[in-house]
Amino acid sequence: MAGPSKPPKPMGSEPHKHIRVQRFKSRPIVFQDPEIDDARGTLKKILMFRDWANSSGLFPNAVKALDHYLSKTGTFVELPQWKVESVRKEAEAAHLAVAEKMFGRFAILEAAGEWTRRNGISLKSGQLQPKTIEITMTWEQGAIHGGISDDNLTYFGSSIHSEAIIEVAQLNAPTDLENEEIKFDCRVKRWRSWVVDNYDWEGDKVFGIFGMKFPFLPSQKDMNRLQRVGLAKAYQRSSRSWEPSLQSIHPRECREFGRWTETAASLKTFREAGPARQASRAEAAKLWAKEAADGALPSPGPAEDMLLEGGGDLQGVYHKFG
């Protein structure tokens, strides 16, 4: 005779082995920077342009310059001699015209600013301290022109950069400081010029090459974005230097080779010019800081100096494009 039946187990008392319980781990939500997405899209288009240029045989130097930008090495590049000759033909006359002004009255104003920086304009018995001072003056002059060409896609905004070291010596010690002028003798100790054209694509500069249909024509904004997100790196370019002839500027400013006398600097001029030049330098520093934040590189020295700064190592430091 069968024993009493067992009562049924309550619902849910047995484990359901056929059901897998999954535990989900929380994952952080990653937001992609839209600028990086845009830069990657730009890079894809640029590579399409490079492949098209290579297959068509067009713009060989522009492709070399672009490849160096995308290599992210940032190493210096020497400008070829034919480019130097082209820029000098276009811009040297205007550059020397600026030199006439720089080597005239402006040199005295710059010297006044330097004396102010050192010890203020404090004349004792009409004598500046120190009596002789050296100033370094730099300026650039270039020419920009449009049109689609290998030259314009490789080099754009090339300019002549000059650096002149001028010695300014006080010739007299006025006794009547309010009415008598201070006389100076100025001498150019060194003057070098070279061509500069950095491959830096600062964001707001006008590229100036439009109007023709290509698979891809880069814009300043797009190219600059590549560097900001780390997909490219700007680099400096300059040529070897030459020594301009002082005889090529206005003869009245240089009565002798490298030397002239300026006789129109009063104490009032020094009192006004010194602080004004200091303020001008401070304003120029602010402007440069803005340009640097936008991707601009400082103007390099001549190629021979850049090579020495690289320790003379031709491998990976010194590049030259045709």
pLDDT at position 209 over 90: no
Peptide bond into 130 cis (omega under 30): yes
Task: Give me the pLDDT at residue 305, please.
Answer: 93
Task: Give me the pLDDT at residue 136, please.
Answer: 92
Chain centroid to Cα 106, Å, comes to 24
pTM: 0.77
Task: Give me the pLDDT at residue 177, please.
Answer: 75
Distances (CA, A) of 75 to 46, 71, 143, 144, 237: 21, 10, 25, 25, 9
Question: What pLDDT digit, counting tens, does each position of 263-300 carry?
Answer: 557 777 777 888 888 888 888 889 888 888 878 889 99
Counting Cα atoms < 13 Å in the Cβ hemisphere of 85 gives 3
> Among the listed ranges 2-6, 103-107, 141-145, 224-228, which one has the minimum average pLDDT value?
2-6
Where exactly are the structural domains of the chain? Answer: 34-320
Bridging pattern class, strands 182-196 and 159-170: antiparallel
First CA to last CA across the chain, in angstroms?
A: 110
Q: What is the mean pLDDT of the chain?
A: 78
Question: What pLDDT digit, counting tens, does each position of 304-319 carry?
Answer: 999 887 644 443 344 5
Question: What pLDDT digit, counting tens, does each position of 182-206 carry?
Answer: 888 888 889 999 999 999 887 655 5
pLDDT at position 255 over 90: no
Average of pLDDT values for 133-145?
85
Residues forming beta bridges with residue 222, ordered by sequence position: none
Question: What pLDDT digit, counting tens, does each position of 140-188 carry?
Answer: 988 776 667 888 888 878 999 999 999 888 888 888 877 788 888 888 8
Task: Give me the pLDDT at residue 22, please.
Answer: 53
Query: Residue 113 — very low, low, confident or very high, per pLDDT cuts 50/70/90?
Result: confident
